[in-house]
Structure 1
Amino acid sequence: MKREYFGMLFLIVSVCSIFAFNYIFGEYIVQEHISKFIIIWILIAFFVGQYSMRFPKSI
């Protein structure tokens, strides 16, 4: 798997899960949890980026 694909896959899964949880649980609850745990989302994205460095770069 290429680096760029891994990053795109993470972004697509994150956005789709936010929309799905928004539909299931309601907008207020999802926005409240996203704003509470934004630092955790940033750390997860950072570590996903570090993990993606193991994959070869596309030419």
Structure 2
Amino acid sequence: MIESFFGTLKAEYFHLAAPNSIDALEAGVHDYVHYYNHERIKLGLHELSQVEYRVRSTA
């Protein structure tokens, strides 16, 4: 699963943003991980983000 995440990270962030410093890379990856978990919808999770899906399934 982690290999799939890193592939998505490279395709959706790294290749598009091309950060010019380590600090920019670190901030960008932090922002992307937040986006990936809280905002990015997945069709397999009934068009919810991962966090929304977990909250609904535990409620």
Please indicate, yes or no, whether the TM-score normalized by the shorter chain is above 0.5. no
Normalised by the size of structure 2, how large is the TM-score? Answer: 0.34
Computing the radius of gyration from Cα coordinates, the structure with the larger value is: 1
Q: Using CA pairs below 8 Å that are at least 6 residues apart, which structure has the higher relative contact order?
A: 1
Normalised by the size of structure 1, how large is the TM-score? Answer: 0.34
